[in-house]
Structure 1
Amino acid sequence: MSPEIGHFALVLGLALALVQSVVPIWGSRRGDNALMATAPPVALGQFAFVALAFATLTHAYLVSDFSVENVFMNSHSTKPLIYKISGVWGNHEGSMVLWVLILTLFSALVALFGRNLPLTLKANVLAVQGWITAAFLLFILKTSNPFARITPAPMEGRDLNPLLQDVGLAIHPPLLYLGYVGFSMSFAFAVAALIDGKLDAAWARWVRPWTLVAWIFLTAGISMGSYWAYYELGWGGWWFWDPVENASLMPWLAGTALLHSAIVMEKREALKVWTVLLAILTFSLSLLGTFLVRSGVLTSVHAFAVDPERGVFILAILVAFIGGSLALYAWRAPTLKQGGLFAPVSREGALVLNNLFLTAACAAVLVGTLYPLALETLTGAKISVGPPFFNWTFGPLMVPLMIAMVFGPFLAWKRGDLVAVTQRLTLAFAAAILATLVAYAVSTGGPVMAPLFIGLAFYVIVGALLDIAERVQLFRAPAATSLARARGLPRSAWGAAIAHAGVGVMLLGIVGETAYKQETIVQMRPGDSVSVAGWDITLQGLVPVQGPNYRDLVARLTVREGGVDAGTLAPAKRVYTARAMPTTEAALKTRGVSQLYVSPGDAGTDGSIALRFFYKPMVLLIWIGTLVMMLGGALSLSDRRLRVGAPKPSARRAAAAVQPAE
Structure 2
Amino acid sequence: MIVELGHLALCIALVASVIQSTIPIWGAANGAPAAMRVADTAAQVQFLGTALAFAALTWAFVVSDFSVMTVAANSHSAKPMLYKVSGVWANHEGSMLLWVLMLALFGVLISLFGGVIPVVMRANVLAVQAMIGAGFYLFILLTSNPFERLATAPIDGQGMNPLLQDPGVAFHPPLLYLGYVGFSTAFSFAVAALITGRVDPAWARWMRPWVLLAWSGLTAGIALGSWWAYYELGWGGFWFWDPVENASFMPWLIGTALLHSAIVVEKRNALLKWTILLAILTFSLSLIGTFLVRSGILTSVHAFATDPERGAFILLLLSIAIGGALTLFAWRAPRLLDGGVFGIWSRETGLLVNNLLLASACGVVFVGTLYPLVLELINGARISVGAPYFNKTFLPIFGVAMLAAGVGPFLAWKRANRREALRRTLLCSLLALLVTAGIAFWLGLGDGVGLLGAFIAAFLMVATLQDYARRIGLPRVGPATALRRAAGLPAAAYGLYLGHAGLAIAAAGVIAVSVWSAEAIQTVQQGSATRVGPYEFTLEGIRNTTGPNYQTSIARVTVTRQGDVVAELAPERRWYPVERQPTTEAGIRTLWHGDLYAVLGDPDGTGGYVTRYYYNPGVPWMWTGALLITFSALISLLDRRLRVGAPSARRATSAAQPAE
Secondary structure of the 2:447 match is: coil
Give the Å deviation of 1:541. Answer: 2.0
1:446–1:515 Cα contact (<8 Å) kept: no
- Does residue 602 (structure 1) correspond to residue 602 (structure 2)? The answer is yes
Give the Å deviation of 1:647. Answer: 4.7
1:20–1:130 Cα contact (<8 Å) kept: yes
- Does residue 423 (structure 1) correspond to residue 423 (structure 2)? The answer is yes
Q: Equivalent residue for 1:558?
A: 558
- The separation in 1 between residues aligned to 2:304 and 2:126, in whole angstroms, is 30
1:586–1:599 Cα contact (<8 Å) kept: yes
- The separation in 2 between residues aligned to 1:527 and 1:513, in whole angstroms, is 28
Q: Equivalent residue for 2:66?
A: 66
| 1:492-503 alignment, distance < 5 Å | 492-503=492-503
2:118–2:652 Cα contact (<8 Å) kept: no
Change (3 A) 1:84 1:407: same
Secondary structure of the 2:183 match is: helix
- Does residue 253 (structure 1) correspond to residue 253 (structure 2)? The answer is yes
- Structure 1, unmatched stretches of 5+, are 656-662
Secondary structure of the 1:153 match is: coil
| 1:132-211 alignment, distance < 5 Å | 132-211=132-211
Q: TM-score, normalised by structure 2?
A: 0.97
Give the Å deviation of 1:566. Answer: 3.8
| 1:110-149 alignment, distance < 5 Å | 110-149=110-149
Q: Equivalent residue for 1:479?
A: 479
Which AA in structure 2 matches 1:526?
A: Q
- The separation in 1 between residues aligned to 2:88 and 2:208, in whole angstroms, is 32
Q: Equivalent residue for 1:404?
A: 404
- The separation in 2 between residues aligned to 1:140 and 1:447, in whole angstroms, is 52
Secondary structure of the 1:42 match is: helix
Give the Å deviation of 1:553. Answer: 1.8
Secondary structure of the 1:71 match is: helix
- The separation in 2 between residues aligned to 1:650 and 1:472, in whole angstroms, is 38
1:435–1:451 Cα contact (<8 Å) kept: no
2:117–2:646 Cα contact (<8 Å) kept: no
Deviations 1:356-411 (A, max 9, x none): 00000011100100000110111111101111111111111012211111111121
Q: Equivalent residue for 2:23?
A: 23
% same residue: 53
- The separation in 2 between residues aligned to 1:454 and 1:442, in whole angstroms, is 14
Give the Å deviation of 1:567. Answer: 4.2
Q: Equivalent residue for 1:544?
A: 544
Change (3 A) 1:312 1:638: same
Q: Equivalent residue for 1:230?
A: 230
Q: TM-score, normalised by structure 1?
A: 0.96
Secondary structure of the 1:344 match is: coil
- The separation in 1 between residues aligned to 2:516 and 2:96, in whole angstroms, is 41
Q: Equivalent residue for 1:525?
A: 525
Q: Equivalent residue for 1:107?
A: 107
Deviations 1:117-139 (A, max 9, x none): 10100000110011011100000
1:254–1:278 Cα contact (<8 Å) kept: yes
- The separation in 2 between residues aligned to 1:75 and 1:315, in whole angstroms, is 29
Give the Å deviation of 1:341. Answer: 1.1
- The separation in 2 between residues aligned to 1:258 and 1:216, in whole angstroms, is 13
Q: Equivalent residue for 2:96?
A: 96
Deviations 1:178-214 (A, max 9, x none): 0001100000001011111111111111111111111
Secondary structure of the 1:37 match is: helix
Change (3 A) 1:579 1:446: farther
Give the Å deviation of 1:489. Answer: 1.0
1:506–1:624 Cα contact (<8 Å) kept: yes
Give the Å deviation of 1:635. Answer: 1.5
- The separation in 2 between residues aligned to 1:380 and 1:654, in whole angstroms, is 57
1:446–1:516 Cα contact (<8 Å) kept: no
Deviations 1:34-75 (A, max 9, x none): 111111111111101100000000000100111111001100
Q: Equivalent residue for 2:505?
A: 505
- The separation in 1 between residues aligned to 2:289 and 2:112, in whole angstroms, is 29
Greater mean deviation of Cα atoms: 331-340 or 465-474: 465-474
Secondary structure of the 1:537 match is: strand
- The separation in 2 between residues aligned to 1:633 and 1:413, in whole angstroms, is 22
Secondary structure of the 1:146 match is: coil
| 1:68-83 alignment, distance < 5 Å | 68-83=68-83
Secondary structure of the 2:306 match is: coil
Give the Å deviation of 1:417. Answer: 2.1
Change (3 A) 1:397 1:567: closer
Secondary structure of the 2:65 match is: coil
- The separation in 2 between residues aligned to 1:175 and 1:260, in whole angstroms, is 22
| 1:221-620 alignment, distance < 5 Å | 221-444=221-444, 447-620=447-620
Give the Å deviation of 1:593. Answer: 3.5
- The separation in 1 between residues aligned to 2:438 and 2:479, in whole angstroms, is 32
- Structure 2, unmatched stretches of 5+, are 654-660
1:431–1:455 Cα contact (<8 Å) kept: no
Deviations 1:442-497 (A, max 9, x none): 34456322122212211101111111111111110132222221111111111111
- The separation in 2 between residues aligned to 1:528 and 1:368, in whole angstroms, is 43
Give the Å deviation of 1:104. Answer: 0.2
1:434–1:455 Cα contact (<8 Å) kept: no
Deviations 1:511-545 (A, max 9, x none): 11011100112211122222334433322222221
Which AA in structure 2 matches 1:106?
A: F
Secondary structure of the 1:602 match is: strand
- The separation in 2 between residues aligned to 1:395 and 1:567, in whole angstroms, is 34
Give the Å deviation of 1:2. Answer: 2.3
- The separation in 2 between residues aligned to 1:357 and 1:554, in whole angstroms, is 47
- The separation in 1 between residues aligned to 2:487 and 2:591, in whole angstroms, is 36
Q: Equivalent residue for 2:12?
A: 12
Give the Å deviation of 1:556. Answer: 2.1
- The separation in 2 between residues aligned to 1:157 and 1:476, in whole angstroms, is 69
Which AA in structure 1 matches 2:209?
A: P
Give the Å deviation of 1:607. Answer: 1.4
- The separation in 2 between residues aligned to 1:597 and 1:457, in whole angstroms, is 25
2:118–2:646 Cα contact (<8 Å) kept: no
Secondary structure of the 1:110 match is: helix
Deviations 1:335-360 (A, max 9, x none): 00001111111000000000000000
Q: Equivalent residue for 2:657?
A: none
Secondary structure of the 1:169 match is: helix
Which AA in structure 1 matches 2:272?
A: K
Which AA in structure 2 matches 1:645?
A: V
- The separation in 1 between residues aligned to 2:561 and 2:254, in whole angstroms, is 46
- The separation in 2 between residues aligned to 1:148 and 1:425, in whole angstroms, is 62
- The separation in 1 between residues aligned to 2:388 and 2:463, in whole angstroms, is 30
Change (3 A) 1:593 1:440: closer
Deviations 1:525-582 (A, max 9, x none): 1222223344333222222211121111222223344434444222122111111111
Q: Equivalent residue for 1:646?
A: 645
Deviations 1:77-117 (A, max 9, x none): 00011000101000000000001001000000011001111
1:129–1:184 Cα contact (<8 Å) kept: yes
- The separation in 2 between residues aligned to 1:148 and 1:294, in whole angstroms, is 19
2:87–2:160 Cα contact (<8 Å) kept: yes
- The separation in 2 between residues aligned to 1:169 and 1:59, in whole angstroms, is 20
Change (3 A) 1:93 1:477: same
CA RMSD of aligned residues (A): 1.6
Give the Å deviation of 1:589. Answer: 1.2
Secondary structure of the 1:611 match is: strand
- The separation in 2 between residues aligned to 1:47 and 1:165, in whole angstroms, is 29
Which AA in structure 2 matches 1:172?
A: H
Give the Å deviation of 1:299. Answer: 1.0
2:368–2:385 Cα contact (<8 Å) kept: yes
Greater mean deviation of Cα atoms: 37-46 or 535-544: 535-544
2:295–2:312 Cα contact (<8 Å) kept: yes
Which AA in structure 2 matches 1:449?
A: V
